Amino acid sequence: MLAGFNLLLWTTHLTDDLLGQCAAIKAAGYDGVEVPVFEGDPAHYASLARKLDDLGLRRTAVGVVQSPEANPMAAEARHRQAGVDHLNWMVDCCAALGAEVLCGPFHQPLATFSGTGPTGQELAHLAEAHRAMAAHAEGSGVALSVEPLNRFECYALNTLEQSSDLVAAVGAEGYGCLFDTFHANIEEKDVGAAIHAAGSAINHVHFSENDRGTPGAGHVDFAEASAALKAVGYDGWIVIEAFGQALPDLAAATRVWRPLFGHEDEVVAAGIDVIRRNWG
C-alpha cells in the first residue's frame, strides 16, 4: 500500500510555490502527492516531475471533464471527440508528470444533469471514449481510474456497481474505478459489500471524511473499508482527499460553506494516522 495526499486542498494547478508544502507532506510520512491536472502542458508537468523526484515524492493525478462541449458521453459526435481529445491531453500531461494513476470523474461534466439517469446510448458513448483513452494511455505507465460521484454531483456514475460495469464494458488493461469513502457514505447501502462486489475493478482509493474535512473526525468507517479492500486483494494507493475554503471556486464546487478544520496541517497529520491505524 502507498499513502498519498491530494493537493486540491491547496490548489488546482501545482507550481513551485507549493513545493514547500509537498516537502511537508513527505516529511509527514506520505509516499506521494496527487496532482491536479486541470490546465497546463506536458512541459510544465515534466518540470514538476523532476522537482518532485528531488523531494522523494511519487505521483498520482486527478482530472475532470471541464466542459459540456468536451463531453465523452455527449449525443453530438463533435463534443464526444473534443472529450476524447481532452482525456488524451490529461494522459499526456500525466505521462510527463510520471503519474502512476490518473483518477477522477472524467466521465461527464461536473454538476451537469439530464433530469434522469444515464441512457444506454450515453453509457455506450462513454465506454467508447474511455476505450480510446485507455488505448492512448497504453505504454505510458499511467493507469486510469474513473471515479463515481454522489448523485448531487453527477448522474452518470454514482455507485461502485455502475463503475465496475463500465470497467467491464471498456475491457482495457490498466483501466479501473476509484473507491471514495465520501461518495460511498452517501450512495452505497453496504460499503463492505460494494467493495467485495467490485473486487479487482477497484484500482485506486480515496479516504475522505463524511464532511470532507479532517479524516477520523467524522463517522466514516475507515476500518470497514480497509478490511474489505484487503479482503479483495487491493494493495495500491490510499490517497487522503479533503477540501477547504482556500480556493473560492473549488469551495463553491464542493459546497464547503463553513470551516471544516483548524489548519491544513491538521488534515495532513490526521490523514496519515488514519491510513496507518486502519491499514497497518
What are the structural domains of the chain? Answer: 2-279 (3.20.20.150)
Tell me the C-alpha distance between 127 and 87, whole Å: 13
Each residue's pLDDT tens digit, 191-242: 999 999 999 999 999 999 999 999 999 999 999 999 999 999 999 999 999 9
Are the CB atoms for 142 and 176 separated by under 8 Å? no
Task: Output the pLDDT for position 251.
Answer: 62
Are the CB atoms for 270 and 212 separated by under 8 Å? no
Task: Output the pLDDT for position 183.
Answer: 97
pLDDT lower than 50: segments of the chain: none
Each residue's pLDDT tens digit, 8-39: 999 999 999 999 999 999 999 999 999 999 99
Task: Output the pLDDT for position 139.
Answer: 96
What does the H/E/C string look like for 64-110? CECCHHHCCCCCCHHHHHHHHHHHHHHHHHHHHHCEEEEEECCCCEC
Task: Output the pLDDT for position 247.
Answer: 65
